[in-house]
Amino acid sequence: MLVDIQFSSAHNDWPRLRDAVLQAEADGYDTTWVFDHFDGATLGGDRPLLECFTLLGAMAEATTTIGVGALVVNVANRHRAVLAAAASSVQRISDGRLRLGIGAGAAPGSRWAQEHHDRGIPLLPAMADRHRAVADAIDLLRVEATEPAPPPIIVGVNSVALAELAGRSADGVNVRLSSPTAPRLVAAAAEAAAGRPFETSGWCYADDMASQDLARQLGLDRLILTRFEALG
């Protein structure tokens, strides 16, 4: 099982993040991941987040071997053509080290949707339409984000329907390991993948040992350790 690390730009500015990512590369982590939000308070932080693809490009330039990834890009945040162009740019800057996590985002009126409401960003009210937006983004990414190689596309899921979409259309699935539905979601995605190459992964807080044990029990391919904190 590969082990990755995720740092928060809601709690840290670029110099500290750069040092942490360089240390993660030296320590042998496979990939380092970033968030795609606007308000730092959404993640318990004290500053606006650095824009996802801008940060990924900076991380790619500062490093040489570690993968760089987004966990996860909200398809509501950008037109899918802008998303494809941004992903393609990071893939080229990093010489093929991008791992692109995408997700359907939150429903209107939910806690996670407040940062969109504040900025006048429309959200699709029906879950099926939000899932269709993920499928449409994957289709365009397959065509446009292809140099020097297509980045792996991983769908972050919290429903069986989206897990099955990931299995049919993407290269991997990611689940929150502390969720009681995590085993079911992993199984649904793997079944929908029908034996083709497909990566299973989960994320948890870096000090959540129970979730890390679950990742091993489920036989996941990748474990992402998330740190919501200011780095020393």
Per-residue confidence (pLDDT) for residue 15, from 0 to 100: 98
List the CATH number of the domain containing 149. Answer: 3.20.20.30
What is the reported pLDDT for 78?
A: 97
Q: Which residue range forms the structural domain that includes residue 22?
A: 2-227
Determine the pLDDT at residue 145. 81
pLDDT given for residue 147 in this prediction: 84
Considering the entire predicted model, what is its pTM? 0.97
DSSP tag of 112: G
Distance CA 138, CA 166 (A): 10
Q: Where do the DSSP E strands lie in 58-211?
A: 67-74, 98-103, 153-156, 172-176, 199-205
Cβ pair 182, 175 in contact under 8 A: yes
Nearest to 67 by CA among 29, 37, 15: 29
Residue 177's SS3 state is coil
Judge whether 215 lies within some domain: yes
Average pLDDT of every residue of the chain: 97
Taking only the tens place, the pLDDT of each residue in 137-158 is 999 999 998 889 999 999 999 9
* Spatial CA neighbour of 99 closest among 65, 150, 51: 150
The pLDDT of residue 146? 84
Number of domains in the chain: 1
Are 107 and 124 in contact, with CB atoms under 8 Å apart?
no
Residue 232 located in a structural domain: no
Task: Classify residue 32: in a domain, yes or no.
Answer: yes
Query: Helix or strand or coil: residue 98?
Result: strand
The mean pLDDT values, 10 residues at a time, for the chain of 232 residues are 98 98 98 98 96 98 98 97 97 97 96 95 97 97 90 98 98 98 98 97 98 98 97 89
Residue 151: inside a domain, yes or no?
A: yes
Looking at this protein, which amino acid is placed at residue 16?
A: R
Sign of CA dihedral 94, 61, 70, 85: negative
* Residue 48: HSE in the Cβ half-sphere, 13 Å Cα cutoff: 6
Residue 152, φ and ψ in degrees, nearest 5 = -60, 135
Whole-number pLDDT of residue 76: 97
